[in-house]
């Protein structure tokens, strides 16, 4: 879990999540406020620089996390640029490169890039539990947040269970040939479903044992100098928005 | 009987699929005692524990806390569960939140305490189990033993009168077991009643005042561990006897009575001490 690692081990881990959230929000505002691809790219660069140079997230880490969404972005940009024309039976099928819409496409693409780096900034500098408490402050419905909390925790429990079961299966030659592998995978999945069921019951008992009667409530982290960091974040965020608006 | 803090009267419980788990089970736990619950796998120890905390409700019979039968209403359960803290065997099925501090705060927050109070309790209980330095770490990066300690902290933060632990020593290394023991001893010294399910006869013999031996959902024996663990039927049911008790018995057979030193050794340390004292006595005529 690369995102996880840097979220817990970056220079800005102890900075108030409100500040980081607001800066990320400013990044998204800047992305939409940008009138030209150049301006949107500038916003993307500022956000990426803040993540890598400011928060100290390793550049290799950053690129590896960014690679999958970038691939999607590239694919969708390509499909916007190139259009397939079935034409008339005389002209036949032809590929068209967008001409007039080129600028439009470039703007959409660069804006998405800026939005992506704004989200990456938040995801790579803030642990999910902080993001959830941030969302709680924004009055997001409790049920959704509880689901997020449980899913997040269960993700690790399950990946460990998968890992252990697979190791145990391999130790007994479970993945030697294709047929055997398919059978092992099948039993892994069915076993996992039972485990999920049992774990959900166990979690329910554990919650009851600690006096739970509905919503999951936790203590929120407290952050030193949060007022200062929020003003810095909002200040620099607004500067970024202003820059993207002014850049022709 | 004001001495009893928890009492089961003829409790029976059958799981929804029909498996009987407790069968006409009656027992008492003394206030302020260190009680070990022993029994083979499937003897009903965990089911018993789930009854003490009101998670399971007996199909027949009664559970009493102090002198009063458990009140299974919402308010009654709130009160009971802040009195009886239950630590489960598998830490992964108890930890909810991804952050250590958050998870420990779960119980106190549910009790509706003020934030400042919750913060103090979280810090205190993490300190008590030696995990204060890991308060901000994500739970999934902890070792098994550390997770187990976080679970205990999560229950300690609720300041229960009775601490119920399901096989807390299982999976811990010797050093960590020692550490946990000293935490439990401190809590007991502060007046907490501690109930532990264990398979470790030596531990039960050395640590617990009282023992409860379960067999197939029934109470087989109850009383001082120094007495009941020497009974033949108990040894038969548990498949063994505490090593120190065996050694005491054998030494007595060859004419060495370790009680000459004033007490019967219960732990390894006490035994070694008693033997040293005994040999000194014999060498000085």
Q: Where residue B47 sits, what CATH number does that domain have?
A: 3.40.50.300
The whole-number average pLDDT for the span B247-258 is 85
B233 shares its domain with B262: no
pLDDT in tens, B187-231: 999 999 999 999 999 999 989 999 999 999 999 999 999 889 989
pLDDT of B95 higher than 90: no
Residue (of B154, B156, B202, B148) closest to B180 by Cα position:
B148
**Best residue in B76, B95, B100, B140 to probe A by mutation, most A CBs within 10 Å?**
B140
* Backbone φ, ψ for residue B212 (5° rounding): -125, 120
B188 shares its domain with B66: yes
pLDDT number for residue A62: 94
Rounded to whole angstroms, how far apart are CA atoms B89 and B72?
24
* Backbone φ, ψ for residue B223 (5° rounding): 155, -165
Chain B positions touching A208 (Cβ under 8 A) are 53, 55, 77, 81
**CB distance A203–B96 less than 8 Å?**
yes
* Backbone φ, ψ for residue B38 (5° rounding): -115, 155
pLDDT number for residue B33: 94
B253 shares its domain with B113: no
- Least CA distance to A161: which residue of chain B? B92
For strand B193-197 and strand B162-166, is the pairing parallel, antiparallel, or unpaired?
A: parallel
Q: Which residues pair with B9 in a beta bridge?
A: B62
**Best residue in A218, A220, A224 to probe B by mutation, most B CBs within 10 Å?**
A218
Helix/strand/coil (H, E, C) string of B126-183? HHHCCCHHHCCCEHHHCCHHHHHHHHHHHHHCCCCCEEEEECCCCCCCHHHHHHHHHH
pLDDT of A100 higher than 80: no
Three-state DSSP state, B36: strand
B270 to chain A nearest CA, in Å?
Answer: 37
- The boundaries of the domain holding residue B263 are 242-285
- Least CA distance to B49: which residue of chain A? A209
Rounded to whole angstroms, how far apart are CA atoms B94 and B114?
23
- Least CA distance to A4: which residue of chain B? B138
**CB distance B122–A217 less than 8 Å?**
no
Chain A positions touching B82 (Cβ under 8 A) are 211
Rounded to whole angstroms, how far apart are CA atoms B62 and B50?
14
pLDDT number for residue A177: 84
CB B22, CB B48: distance < 8 Å: yes
- Classify the phi-psi angles of A24: left when phi > 0, otherwise alpha if psi is within -120 to 50, otherwise beta: alpha
ipTM of this predicted complex?
Answer: 0.71
B188 shares its domain with B281: no
B176 shares its domain with B259: no
Residue (of B259, B211, B243, B151) closest to A209 by Cα position:
B151
Number of domains in chain B: 2
DSSP B203-269: HHHHH-SEEEEEETTEEEEEEEHHHHTTSHHHHHHHTS--HHHHHHHHHHHTT--GGGGSS---SHH
Rounded to whole angstroms, how far apart are CA atoms A39 and A111?
9
A120 to chain B nearest CA, in Å?
Answer: 20
Q: Which of A150, A219, A222 lies closest to B96 in CB terms?
A: A150
A166 to chain B nearest CA, in Å?
Answer: 19
How many secondary structure helices (H) and strands (E) does chain A include?
9, 2
How sure is the predictor about A20, in pLDDT bands with cuts at 50, 70 and 90? Answer: very high
pLDDT in tens, B98-115: 789 988 999 898 888 899
pLDDT number for residue B1: 42
Q: Which residues of A118-157 are buried (b: 16+ CB within 10 A; e: fewer)?
A: bebbbbbbbbbbbbbbbbbeeeeeeeebbebbbebbbebb
B221 to chain A nearest CA, in Å?
Answer: 27
**CB distance B101–A219 less than 8 Å?**
yes
- Least CA distance to A203: which residue of chain B? B93
B213 shares its domain with B285: no
pLDDT number for residue B285: 59
pLDDT number for residue B171: 80
**CB distance A209–B88 less than 8 Å?**
yes
pLDDT of A39 higher than 50: yes
Q: Torsion angle, CA of B16/B21/B22/B23, rounded to 10 degrees? A: 90
**CB distance B122–A202 less than 8 Å?**
no
**C-alpha distances out from residue B23 to A24, A148, B195, B216, Å:** 60, 41, 20, 8
Collect all residues from B whose CB is shorter than 8 A from any CB in A.
Answer: 50, 53, 55, 74, 77-78, 81-82, 85-86, 88, 90, 92-99, 101-103, 105-111, 115, 118-119, 122, 136-140, 154-155, 158
pLDDT in tens, A151-178: 888 888 888 888 888 888 887 878 878 8
**CB distance B74–A213 less than 8 Å?**
yes
B246 shares its domain with B160: no
Q: Which of A199, A207, A210 lies closest to B158 in CB terms?
A: A210
B125 shares its domain with B44: yes
**CB distance A203–B82 less than 8 Å?**
no
pLDDT of B153 higher than 90: yes
Q: Which residues pair with B38 in a beta bridge?
A: B213
Rounded to whole angstroms, how far apart are CA atoms A6 and A64?
12
**C-alpha distances out from residue A248 to A35, A218, A242, B5, Å:** 7, 47, 12, 78
- Least CA distance to A216: which residue of chain B? B106
**C-alpha distances out from residue B257 to B63, B70, B144, B264, B267, Å:** 42, 47, 42, 9, 16
B230 shares its domain with B268: no
B98 shares its domain with B218: yes
Structure tokens at A135: 């969302």
B271 shares its domain with B225: no
A75 to chain B nearest CA, in Å?
Answer: 35
B15 shares its domain with B132: yes
Q: Which of B107, B118, B139 lies closest to A210 in CB terms?
A: B107
């Amino acid at each position: 879990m690369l995102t996880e690692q840097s979220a817990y081990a970056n220079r800005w881990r102890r900075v108030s999540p409100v500040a980081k959230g607001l800066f990320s929000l400013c990044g998204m505002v800047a992305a939409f406020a940008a009138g030209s691809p150049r301006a949107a790219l500038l916003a993307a660069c500022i956000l990426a620089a803040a993540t890598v140079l400011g928060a100290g997230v390793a550049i290799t880490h950053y690129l590896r996390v960014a690679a999958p969404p970038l691939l999607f972005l590239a694919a969708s940009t390509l499909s916007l640029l190139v259009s397939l024309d079935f034409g008339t039976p005389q002209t036949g099928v032809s590929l068209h490169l967008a001409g007039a819409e080129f600028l439009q496409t470039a703007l959409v693409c660069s804006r998405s890039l800026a939005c992506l780096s704004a989200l990456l900034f938040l995801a790579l500098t803030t642990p999910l539990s902080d993001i959830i408490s941030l969302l709680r402050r924004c009055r997001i419905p409790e049920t959704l947040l509880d689901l997020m909390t449980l899913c997040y925790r269960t993700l690790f429990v399950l990946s460990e269970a998968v890992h252990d079961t697979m190791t145990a299966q391999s130790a007994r030659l479970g993945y030697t040939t294709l047929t055997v592998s398919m059978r092992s995978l099948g039993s892994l999945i069915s076993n996992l479903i039972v485990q999920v069921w049992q774990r959900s019951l166990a979690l329910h008992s554990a919650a009851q044992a600690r006096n739970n009667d509905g919503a999951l409530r936790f203590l929120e982290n407290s952050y030193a100098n949060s007022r200062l960091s929020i003003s810095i974040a909002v200040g620099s965020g607004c500067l970024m928005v202003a820059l993207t608006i002014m850049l022709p | 009987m004001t001495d009893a803090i928890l009492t089961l009267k003829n409790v029976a419980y059958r799981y929804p699929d029909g498996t009987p788990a407790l069968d006409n089970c009656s027992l008492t736990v003394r206030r302020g005692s260190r009680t070990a619950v022993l029994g083979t796998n499937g003897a009903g120890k965990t089911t018993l524990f789930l009854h003490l905390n009101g998670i399971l409700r007996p199909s027949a019979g009664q559970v009493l806390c102090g002198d009063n039968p458990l009140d299974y209403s919402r308010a009654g359960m709130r009160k009971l569960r802040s009195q009886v803290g239950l630590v489960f065997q598998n830490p992964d099925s108890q930890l909810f939140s991804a952050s250590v501090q958050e998870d420990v705060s779960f119980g106190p927050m549910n009790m509706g305490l003020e934030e400042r109070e919750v913060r103090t309790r979280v810090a205190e209980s993490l300190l008590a189990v030696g995990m204060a330095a890991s308060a901000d770490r994500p739970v999934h990066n902890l070792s098994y033993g550390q997770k187990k300690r976080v679970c205990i902290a999560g229950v300690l933060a609720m300041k229960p009168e009775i601490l119920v632990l399901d096989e807390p020593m299982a999976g811990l290394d010797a050093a960590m077991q020692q550490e946990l023991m000293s935490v439990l001893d401190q809590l007991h010294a502060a007046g907490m009643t501690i109930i532990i399910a264990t398979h470790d006869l030596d531990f039960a013999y050395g640590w617990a005042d009282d023992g409860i031996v379960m067999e197939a959902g029934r109470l087989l024996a109850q009383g001082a561990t120094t007495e009941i663990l020497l009974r033949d039927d108990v040894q038969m049911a548990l498949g063994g006897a505490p090593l120190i008790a065996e050694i005491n018995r054998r030494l007595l057979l060859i004419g060495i009575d370790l009680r000459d030193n004033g007490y019967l050794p219960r732990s390894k340390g006490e035994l070694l001490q008693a033997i040293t004292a005994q040999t000194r006595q014999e060498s000085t005529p």
